[in-house]
């Protein structure tokens, strides 16, 4: 157990590009350390739900996202310190390449996050069909930003002992960085991929076995003891005053204590930042989880929050549950506050068409959806609130992200029913997003509660109003 006022040791696991194997390495290290008895605090850099879900399963704790585009750097730092306290070690999985960001300064990159948190980097090198060049690439990273600390490397997708030996020898000779593991090419069926990342852990029928496989990979091919020593050596201390300040509990809105917010969460709808749910709870809201896949009726709630996911893979089951869909539509007509993102937006629509067949959704918003083979919206978003709506003030600027394969086939809306104008991103239609009717709001833009602090109080406030008007 870490002493009060001390920073929890951690490691940022990065690659030279997306798809280099850092996710499986991160899962294996987190789960293996957990099996050794360490309390592991997992984090994912960037706006990612799928990897975060796997990391949460591996570590046995919620995985928090750290994103310096969605949130101010100091907010990200505070989130890391707050959510790693009382743990033994933190594992932070980076995204894309080590220095990749939205600008030439790399301000939102994994390397900048490592410097912000003052943590060492474990670099995963995809060694496919390469030997000496890997030393040159590693040396380039070291020279490109001398302020980062690369404490070790993992050689990934090595073709055998001879291949491994050549890469090791060159890295040791030219870079003086320890090689802490060498992982062979793994079978695809252990970690199936879909779209641009791993299949969600909820949808993977053998997720438990997959985590066990990741642990075996780490145990067999990574020197976990040396890695832990590298993480804990020269551990920097965080200012005790900063930790004390961060640990102070927030004041709750006493009037919201009896408010119940239903969150629709199952294998179809599972994309939620833990910070968003925490923000509602910190305001005193009671949280209940609902599932249109497994439940028929909606219990007494004062608001509903629907996150994203893959409703298209569950369209027949969602369409079959007419009682739930009809109940949700009646509650919307009765003024129940409903906030939905991406996959949740699809469920608010009229239908989704898949392979020539239409599956009915809840019918709250007049939109018909289809599914494309390529992403229809992908990346960070920046929106301006331009129309009066239930949850955001006109003039607010919000940062978020969108990632979708769904497309708009038909829509019946007025400009005044779209809350957002997209300064960055695609949105629902013609650079507009945030379709709302009464107290129901659907958007392709995912927001992070720490970066959009007005969101949770607005949802709770609407829930309080609904309760007062219906009791």
Q: N- to C-terminal Cα distance for the chain?
A: 48
**Dihedral angle computed from the Cα positions of residues 82, 83, 88 and 91, in that order, rounded to the nearest 10 degrees:** -130
* Start and end residues for every CATH 3.40.50.880 domain found in the chain: 254-469
* Start and end residues for every CATH 3.40.50.300 domain found in the chain: 10-244
**pLDDT tens digits, 265-285:** 999 999 999 999 999 999 999
pLDDT over 60 at 195, yes or no:
no
What per-residue confidence (pLDDT) applies to 233?
A: 75
Residue 371: its H or E element = strand 367-371
In which band, very low, low, confident or very high, does the pLDDT at 255 lie, cut at 50, 70 and 90? low
In which band, very low, low, confident or very high, does the pLDDT at 208 lie, cut at 50, 70 and 90? confident
pLDDT over 60 at 253, yes or no:
no
**pLDDT tens digits, 345-377:** 999 999 999 999 999 999 999 999 999 989 899
**Cβ distance 372 to 406 under 8 Å?**
yes
Among this protein's residues, is 342 annotated catalytic?
Answer: yes
Contacts of 429 (CB under 8 A, 6+ apart): 408, 411, 413, 418
What per-residue confidence (pLDDT) applies to 202?
A: 54
Dist. CA 334–CA 387, nearest whole Å: 22
| pTM given for the model | 0.91
What per-residue confidence (pLDDT) applies to 2?
A: 47
Catalytic residue of the set 87, 141, 342, 413: 342
**pLDDT tens digits, 166-175:** 999 999 999 9
pLDDT over 60 at 246, yes or no:
no
In which band, very low, low, confident or very high, does the pLDDT at 196 lie, cut at 50, 70 and 90? very low
* Mean of pLDDT over the chain: 91
| DSSP β-ladder status, 440-443 and 338-341 | parallel
Per-residue burial over 127-140, b = 16 or more CB atoms within 10 Å of its CB, e = otherwise: beebbeebbebbbe
pLDDT over 80 at 302, yes or no:
yes
- With a pLDDT cut of 90, the percent of the chain lying above it is 84
**pLDDT tens digits, 1-17:** 444 456 789 999 999 99
In which band, very low, low, confident or very high, does the pLDDT at 194 lie, cut at 50, 70 and 90? very low
Average pLDDT over residues 119-129: 97
| DSSP β-ladder status, 440-443 and 377-385 | unpaired
pLDDT over 80 at 66, yes or no:
yes
Dist. CA 10–CA 91, nearest whole Å: 6
Dist. CA 323–CA 198, nearest whole Å: 33
What per-residue confidence (pLDDT) applies to 389?
A: 97
* φ and ψ at residue 239, rounded to 5 degrees: -55, 120
Dist. CA 438–CA 460, nearest whole Å: 16
What per-residue confidence (pLDDT) applies to 3?
A: 45
What per-residue confidence (pLDDT) applies to 457?
A: 97
pLDDT over 50 at 295, yes or no:
yes
Burial zone of 394 (CB within 10 Å; 0-12 exposed, 13-18 middle, 19+ buried): exposed
| DSSP at 312 | G
* Superfamily of chain region 10-244: P-loop containing nucleotide triphosphate hydrolases (3.40.50.300)
Q: Between 258 and 447, whose confidence is greater? A: 447
Q: How far is CA 48 from the centre of its chain?
A: 3
Residue 97: its H or E element = strand 89-97
DSSP for 105-147, written as a single string: T-TTSHHHHHHHHT--EEEEEE-TT-SHHHHHHHHHHHHH-TT
Which two tokens mark 361?
Answer: 């959704």
- With a pLDDT cut of 70, the percent of the chain lying above it is 89
What per-residue confidence (pLDDT) applies to 245?
A: 54
Average pLDDT over residues 85-94: 95
* φ and ψ at residue 336, rounded to 5 degrees: -60, 130
What per-residue confidence (pLDDT) applies to 257?
A: 60
State in words which class domain 254-469 has.
alpha beta
């Amino acid at each position: 157990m870490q002493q009060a006022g001390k920073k929890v040791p951690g490691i940022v696991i990065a690659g030279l590009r997306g798809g280099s194997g850092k996710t499986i390495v991160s899962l294996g290290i987190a789960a293996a350390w957990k099996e050794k008895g360490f309390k592991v605090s997992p984090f994912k850099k960037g706006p990612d739900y799928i990897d975060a879900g796997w990391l949460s399963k591996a570590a046995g704790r919620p995985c928090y996202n750290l994103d310096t585009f969605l949130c101010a750097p100091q907010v990200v730092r505070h989130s890391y310190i707050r959510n790693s306290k009382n743990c033994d070690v933190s594992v932070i999985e980076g995204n894309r390449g080590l220095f990749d960001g939205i600008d030439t300064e790399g301000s939102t990159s994994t390397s900048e996050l490592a410097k912000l948190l003052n943590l060492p980097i474990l670099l995963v090198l995809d060694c496919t069909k390469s030997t000496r060049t890997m030393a040159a690439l590693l040396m380039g990273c070291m020279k490109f930003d001398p302020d980062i600390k690369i404490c070790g490397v993992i050689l990934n997708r090595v073709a055998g002992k001879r291949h491994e030996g050549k890469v090791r020898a060159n890295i040791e000779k030219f870079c003086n960085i320890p090689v802490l593991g060498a992982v062979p090419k793994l079978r695809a069926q252990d970690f199936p991929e879909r779209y641009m990342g791993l299949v969600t852990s909820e949808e993977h029928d053998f997720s438990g076995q997959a985590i066990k496989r990741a642990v075996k990979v780490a145990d067999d091919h990574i020197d976990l003891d040396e890695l832990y020593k590298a993480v804990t050596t020269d551990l920097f201390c965080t200012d005790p005053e900063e930790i004390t300040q961060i640990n102070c509990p927030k004041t709750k809105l006493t009037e919201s204590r009896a408010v119940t917010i239903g969150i629709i969460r199952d294998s179809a709808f599972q994309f939620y930042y833990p910070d968003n749910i925490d923000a509602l709870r910190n305001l005193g809201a009671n949280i209940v989880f609902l599932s249109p896949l497994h439940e028929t009726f909606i219990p007494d709630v004062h608001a509903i929050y629907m996150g994203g996911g893959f409703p298209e893979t569950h369209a027949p089951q969602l369409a079959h549950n007419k009682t739930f869909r009809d109940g949700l539509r009646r509650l919307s007509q009765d003024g129940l506050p409903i906030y939905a993102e991406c996959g949740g937006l699809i469920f608010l629509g009229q239908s989704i068409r898949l392979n020539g067949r239409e599956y009915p959704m809840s019918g709250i918003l007049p939109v018909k959806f289809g599914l494309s083979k390529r992403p229809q919206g992908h990346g960070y978003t920046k929106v301006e609130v331009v129309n009066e709506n239930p949850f955001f003030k006109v003039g607010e600027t919000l940062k978020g992200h969108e990632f979708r394969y769904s497309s708009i086939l038909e829509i019946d809306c007025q400009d005044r029913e779209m809350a957002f104008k997209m300064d960055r991103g695609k949105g629902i239609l013609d650079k507009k997003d945030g379709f709302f009717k009464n107290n129901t709001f659907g958007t392709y833009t995912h927001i992070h509660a720490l970066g959009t602090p007005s969101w949770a109080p607005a949802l709770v406030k609407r829930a309080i109003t609904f309760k007062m008007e219906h009791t």
